[in-house]
Amino acid sequence: MTLRFLGTTSDDGDCPTLYEVEETRQIVVQGDRLTDPEHLDQLRDVKESETFVVIPRELLTRFAPRSDDVAELVPFKEVAHLFAEFKHTAWRLETQRGYASDRESPKWNRWRAGESLGYDPAHPWHANVRTQTEAGKRFERVRLVDDPPTEGQRFLLASGLGNVEAGEDIRNLSRAEAQRAGLPDYDFWLFDSRTVVEFAFGSDGTTLGVRVREDAESVLRACQVRDAAWHYAVATTEFQAGVRSTM
């Protein structure tokens, strides 16, 4: 079964930390073991297999998912209209080390052959970004990058320059810094600070579908992630230059 990182209240990104077992939605808690003898004596119905840890209340209030918030997995095409209909902002967090959609794109082989990937006004994505940003809306995203970058991440660093020319504000953040900041390890779009579109991926990076969430807790968490990621991330042009200098 797969553990999904939910969040941490530690500045060092270690503990206390909360995880979710994706298949069962059970919660796994990482924290300091309870050792106070007086407190241990007051515990009830303790099984031999049980362990008790101490965590700050904030860890649960900030990161524990609602038990009644089980969003249905739907095809990505069902949310495609949001990219033209949002009113103010469309913000994305990208955390994967590679995406099947990139590898299946015609741009992939062109990039591997050494071709530069710039702005293409005929490309549907670039055309829509240009239309929306000229109307005063904002397209923004933060992409996590490993050290060294994976092939998929290097592709996005290269192809992202065309997105920037189209009107997106793309920034990059090292995975190590993202973990220290307590950012999650799943992808999502946040539209107008009110609608969260969370991705589900297969082991090969194939998009299995998305979950749409509009409950207050999910939206608040996404806004907090956006603010922290945007604070630490670096403009992709600057980040790309730094990556080139170390390779």
pTM: 0.76
Instruction: From 21, 40, 63, give the residue that closes a domain.
Output: 63
CATH classification at residue 211: 3.30.870.10
- Name the pLDDT band for 22 (thresholds 50, 70, 90): confident
In a domain, 68, yes or no: no
For residue 219, pLDDT over 70 is answered with yes
User: Taking all residues of the chain, what is their mean pLDDT, rounded to a whole number?
Assistant: 91
Query: Are 14 and 121 members of one domain?
Result: no
**pLDDT reading at 68 higher than 60:** no
* Average of per-residue pLDDT across 66-85: 85
Our CA angle for 11, 15, 17, nearest 5°, is 100
pLDDT of 108 higher than 60: yes
Q: Per the structure, how many domains does the chain have?
A: 2
Which of 56-60, 85-89, 215-219, 223-227 has the weakest average pLDDT? Answer: 56-60
* pLDDT at position 9: 81
Q: How high is the pLDDT of residue 245? A: 47
| pLDDT tens-digit readout, 140-182 | 999 999 999 999 999 999 999 999 999 999 999 999 999 999 8
Percent of the chain with pLDDT over 90: 73
Residue 121 lies in a domain: yes
Considering the domain architecture, whether residues 80 and 54 belong to the same structural domain is answered as: no
Domain that holds residue 134: 73-246
Q: Which residues contact 134 (CB under 8 A, 6 or more apart)?
A: 167
77 and 175 together in one domain: yes
Shared domain for 47 and 124, answered yes or no, is no
Closest CA to 158 of 192, 216, 194, 114: 114
How high is the pLDDT of residue 14? Answer: 63
pLDDT band at 67 (very low <50, low <70, confident <90, very high): very low
Q: Does 72 score more than 70 pLDDT? A: yes
pLDDT at 66: 58
| Cα→Cα distances 147→97, 140, 176, 243, Å | 11, 23, 9, 9
